[in-house]
């Protein structure tokens, strides 16, 4: 196999827990989505690809090389971790700049590249603020900025949309698309199929540490559409937002898990994600974050694997 | 070009680490602890204690500084170098850059050493100065004491920092192991006569002080190790611990914290 990523019979155990189970897949050029519920093995695969874990069986290759303790390969890689922690005592500008200087850039070059990357992700105005004051969406965009600022060949993005607000999602997806259009390769994990669908048709489905399907996204769409999809919105006015969203005929139900949360179930998640930014903008209701509990996807996976 | 790039990376990692060690609220708390010797001598001088002089300075500060303050500063600062990056999930940002794990450990250790010396040396020099001022002696009157304290501060910081760094890459809760090694092991083993005490860092620090200070309460301290040998042992021990830390770190795997 000669893909951007080649994984052959990769198994990884955490004690008695199996993270990856003879995972075999080849990821091609452009954008590939790694889709699976939480605990499926997405982050384990990514950690193998960035050299933070090594396989107990089998092997992975990134850009044709073994990533374990491969310092030179890191120059060709941009990585956006799943978690949102950063050096909170640095500003966004300092954070990106510092990491760029670890690529060997001079201070002046790093400053220029960091400024440019933060502009690309729409964070110029907040660049001088401490990152500990950032919202989750801003953190996601900062992580993306540090990952692409040194112009890597491949971006590995672990749940880059998790918790991001609607505007941040649009910005992040646009940035990823532009990176790929410029010739870069992207591996992006998500447990929300409809997010990845907006930027690529090429996906690998992962469940219980195994690649259970890969290829065109449309083949499994019909299956997934039969399962109502849950979306959790973080908003200070959940009831007013529910009223506004009730005009969507594909919305099945609303729940209010807490005073500042709204859980929506929809039969047409793609339409929901497409229409939501417009409704939020029209009604001027604040939506601080969006998350999709993976129970709907999990149901589909259980169906797929029998 | 490679050298310039390496120096840039060293500068960035040490700067980032120093800023974390000294620029946060925890760093300020450690600085206050490191200032205890100075506060004590100032207190003695203000209280006009008759017996306060260079002898009492040594009697008080050898246990207080070398067996409490220095160990505590080394423990807190060295054990956080890598462990906090792991616990805070910030390590992936560094490890997905073209910097080797050995270089990362080494640069962080250099930053630790710089932070320890910045925290520990000024209070000792000032405490010495206050003592000489109180007794009406010129600053240079007991320079052997000052040099002895400075040499042992540097070597003690290096040795304790290296061992606590090693502990921090080995175990998830380095503070508990560090407290045991720093305070229990060093105190107990350091008191046992014979060759067993050679397994403690404090033995070599005391041997250096005994050998380099002409009039010292440590003149009755039993040791057959000269200052020169002690320096070699402590430097060699520090290097060995840093190398071991590098070897362990290079084979470590990193799973994210939830």
Q: Which pLDDT value is given to residue A306?
A: 56
Tell me the average pLDDT across A246-273.
Answer: 86
Task: Give whole-number Cα distances, A264 to A221, A261, A271, B236, in Å.
Answer: 20, 10, 13, 64
Q: Which pLDDT value is given to residue A221?
A: 60
Contact check, Cβ <8 Å, A103/B250: no
Instruction: Give the residue, B250 or B5, on which the prediction is more confident.
Output: B250
Q: What is the DSSP letter of A126?
A: G
Q: What is the pLDDT of residues A152-202, one digit of tens each?
A: 999 999 999 888 888 888 889 999 999 999 999 999 998 777 778 788 888
CA distance B161 to chain A (A): 23
% of chain A beyond a pLDDT of 70: 91
Q: How confident is the model at residue A214 (pLDDT cuts 50, 70, 90)?
A: confident
> Across A228-242, B15-29, B104-118, which has the greatest mean pLDDT?
B104-118
Question: What distance in Å separates the CA atoms of residue B202 and residue B191, rounded to the nearest whole number?
Answer: 10
| Residue spans per domain, chain A | 5-89+133-221, 222-304
Which of A18-32, B73-87, B183-197 is predicted least confidently? B183-197
CA distance A151 to chain B (A): 13
Q: How confident is the model at residue B258 (pLDDT cuts 50, 70, 90)?
A: very low
Question: What distance in Å separates the CA atoms of residue A258 and residue A16, rounded to the nearest whole number?
Answer: 36
The ipTM value here is 0.87
Flag whether residue A81 sits within 8 Å of chain B, measured between CB atoms: yes
Flag whether residue A153 sits within 8 Å of chain B, measured between CB atoms: no
Tell me the average pLDDT across A6-16.
Answer: 91
Burial of B25 (0-12, 13-18, 19+ CB in 10 A): exposed
Average pLDDT, chain B: 92
- Which CATH code fits A222-304? 3.30.70.100
Task: Give whole-number Cα distances, B64 to A188, B29, B38, B41, B198, in Å.
Answer: 55, 17, 11, 12, 21
**Closest-approach residue (CA) in chain A for B21:** A89
User: Concatenated DSSP letters for A229-244?
Assistant: EEEEEE-S-HHHHHHH
Half-sphere exposure of A113 (CA within 13 A, CB side): 24
Confidence check: pLDDT of B15 > 90: yes
Flag whether residue A168 sits within 8 Å of chain B, measured between CB atoms: no
Q: Which pLDDT value is given to residue B108?
A: 97
Question: What distance in Å separates the CA atoms of residue B163 and residue B79, rounded to the nearest whole number?
Answer: 9
Domain A5-89+133-221 matching CATH 3.40.50.300: the answer reads: yes
Q: Which pLDDT value is given to residue B110?
A: 97
Q: What is the pLDDT of residues B153-164, one digit of tens each?
A: 999 999 999 999
CA distance B105 to chain A (A): 14
């Amino acid at each position: 196999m000669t893909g951007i990523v080649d994984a052959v019979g990769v198994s990884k155990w955490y004690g008695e827990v199996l993270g990856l189970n003879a995972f075999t897949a080849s990821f091609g050029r452009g954008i590939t989505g790694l889709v699976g519920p939480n605990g499926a093995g997405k982050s384990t695969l990514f950690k193998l690809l960035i050299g933070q874990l090594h396989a107990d069986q089998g092997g992975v290759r990134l850009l044709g090389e073994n990533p374990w303790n491969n310092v030179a390969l890191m120059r060709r890689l941009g990585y956006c971790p799943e978690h949102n922690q950063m050096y909170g005592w640095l500003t966004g500008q300092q954070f990106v700049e510092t990491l760029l200087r670890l690529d060997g850039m001079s201070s002046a070059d790093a400053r220029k590249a960091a400024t440019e990357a933060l502009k690309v992700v729409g964070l110029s105005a907040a660049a001088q603020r401490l990152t500990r004051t950032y919202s989750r969406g801003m953190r996601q965009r900062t992580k993306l900025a540090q990952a692409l600022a040194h112009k890597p060949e491949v971006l590995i993005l672990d749940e880059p949309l998790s918790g991001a607000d609607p505007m941040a999602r649009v910005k992040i997806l646009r940035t990823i698309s532009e990176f790929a259009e410029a010739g870069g390769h992207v591996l992006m994990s998500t447990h929300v199929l409809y997010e990845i669908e907006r930027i690529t048709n090429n996906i690998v489905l992962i469940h219980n540490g195994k690649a259970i399907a890969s290829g065109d996204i449309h083949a499994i769409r019909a299956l997934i559409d039969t399962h109502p999809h849950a979306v959790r919105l973080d908003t200070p006015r959940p009831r007013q937002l529910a009223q506004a969203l009730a005009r969507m005929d594909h919305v099945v139900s609303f729940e209010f898990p807490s005073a500042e949360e709204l859980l929506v179930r929809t039969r047409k998640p793609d339409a929901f994600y497409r229409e939501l930014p417009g409704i939020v903008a029209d009604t001027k209701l604040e939506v601080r974050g969006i998350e999709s509990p993976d129970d709907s996807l999990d149901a589909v996976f259980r169906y797929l694997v029998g | 070009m490679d050298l310039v790039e390496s120096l840039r990376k060293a500068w960035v990692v040490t700067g980032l680490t120093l800023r974390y060690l000294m620029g946060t609220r925890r760093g300020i708390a450690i600085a206050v602890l490191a200032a205890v010797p100075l506060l004590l001598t100032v207190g003695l001088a203000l209280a006009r204690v008759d017996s306060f002089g260079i002898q009492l300075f040594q009697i008080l500060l050898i246990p207080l500084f070398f067996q409490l303050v220095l160990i505590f500063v080394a423990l807190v600062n060295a054990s956080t170098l890598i462990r906090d990056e792991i616990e805070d999930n910030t390590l992936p940002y560094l490890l997905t850059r073209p910097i080797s794990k050995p270089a990362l450990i080494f640069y962080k250790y250099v930053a630790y050493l710089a932070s320890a010396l910045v925290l520990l040396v000024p209070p000792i020099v000032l405490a010495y100065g206050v003592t000489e001022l109180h007794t009406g002696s010129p600053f240079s009157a007991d320079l052997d004491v000052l040099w002895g304290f400075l040499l042992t501060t540097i070597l003690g910081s290096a040795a304790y920092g290296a061992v606590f760094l090693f502990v921090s890459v080995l175990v998830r809760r380095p503070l508990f192991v560090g407290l045991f090694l720093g305070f229990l092991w060093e105190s107990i083993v350091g008191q046992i006569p014979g060759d067993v005490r050679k397994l403690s860092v404090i033995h070599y620090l005391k041997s250096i002080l005994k050998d380099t200070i002409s009039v010292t309460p440590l003149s009755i301290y039993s040791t057959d190790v000269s200052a020169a040998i002690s320096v070699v042992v402590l430097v060699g021990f520090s290097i060995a611990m840093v190398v071991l830390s590098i070897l362990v770190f290079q084979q470590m795997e990193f799973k994210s914290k939830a």
